[in-house]
Amino acid sequence: MTISSISTFARAILFDCDGTLINTEHAHFLSWEYALKQLGSSLTIDEYATCVGRSEDSSGDILSKKLVGFTKEDLLRIKREHFLKTPSSSLTPITDTVNFLKNLAENRDKWGIKIGVCSGAPRNRLLSHLKLLEIDHLLDIVLSGCDDLDEYSDPEGVNKPKPYIYQHAMKILEVTPEETIVIEDSDVGALAGVSAGCFTVVIPQEFSKNHNFSNIHFQTDSLAKIDIEDFLRLPFAKYV
């Protein structure tokens, strides 16, 4: 890929967290699998893949349909209790993306950019993960789709795949969708970014590799070899 010369850069980079910055999806899968087993059901990786990128509540809506004689609340309680027991040593950074974020932060003044994390996870868990990654101090904004969108109303819910979390971040950062790059790992998250009008980049992981990403703007296996200036030009670039 060659990008034609252009001087305009993105002004905000917004990252998802789970599956994008930190490897939590396997731990989530094991916790859902455990909870369903305790309630007399089971879970395959293909079934779980349909939940990747969704909030815990939304995933509970989907997976509780497998239950007989138990409720979504029963399932969520057991899943959450099990996930809390996950050792931090098993929640590893997605190194290439974390390093890319750190490089952006080191040069934020040079490029005049703002950096944020917009996750569908509960805020306390999100902040714990960012602290574990040692990037919490590098961010201009951190938003939870579960806890930080009270001013929005939608009968279908306000978390991803709805665009509200990215719209809210841009409102606070005072940037436009045309100036914003969203980095996601799932079809649900990507839809939120695209629906918010942002240039959306997807880096699929193990559980999302078969998702449909036909609606996104740019897909890559890693950010390790991508030049940062070229990356910041992506929303405005012409490919030759």
Q: For residues 82 and 137, state if they share a domain.
A: no
Q: For residues 84 and 99, state if they share a domain.
A: no
Q: For residues 107 and 206, state if they share a domain.
A: yes
Whether residue 16 is contained in a domain is answered as yes
Question: Pick from 53, 68, 89: which residue ends a domain?
Answer: 89
Whether residue 6 is contained in a domain is answered as no
Helices 25-38 and 56-63: angle between axes, nearest 10 degrees: 40
Q: Reduced to 3 states, what is the DSSP secondary structure of residue 191?
A: helix
Q: For residues 100 and 35, state if they share a domain.
A: no
Q: What is the pLDDT of residue 8?
A: 86
Query: Order of strands across the sheet with 12-15?
Result: 141-144, 114-119, 12-15, 180-184, 199-202, 218-219
What is the spatial distance between Cα 61 and Cα 111, in angstroms, rounded to a whole number? Answer: 42
Whichever domain contains 16, its CATH number is: 3.40.50.1000
Q: What is the pLDDT of residue 73?
A: 97
pTM (2 decimals)?
Answer: 0.92
Q: For residues 120 and 185, state if they share a domain.
A: yes
Q: For residues 102 and 178, state if they share a domain.
A: yes
Question: Pick from 89, 118, 143: which residue ends a domain?
Answer: 89
Q: For residues 99 and 84, state if they share a domain.
A: no
Q: Consecutive 10-residue runs of the chain (240 residues): their mean pLDDT?
A: 59 98 95 97 94 94 95 97 93 97 96 97 96 97 97 96 98 97 97 98 95 95 94 76
Q: Provide the residue range defining the domain that includes 71.
A: 25-89
Q: For residues 30 and 19, state if they share a domain.
A: no
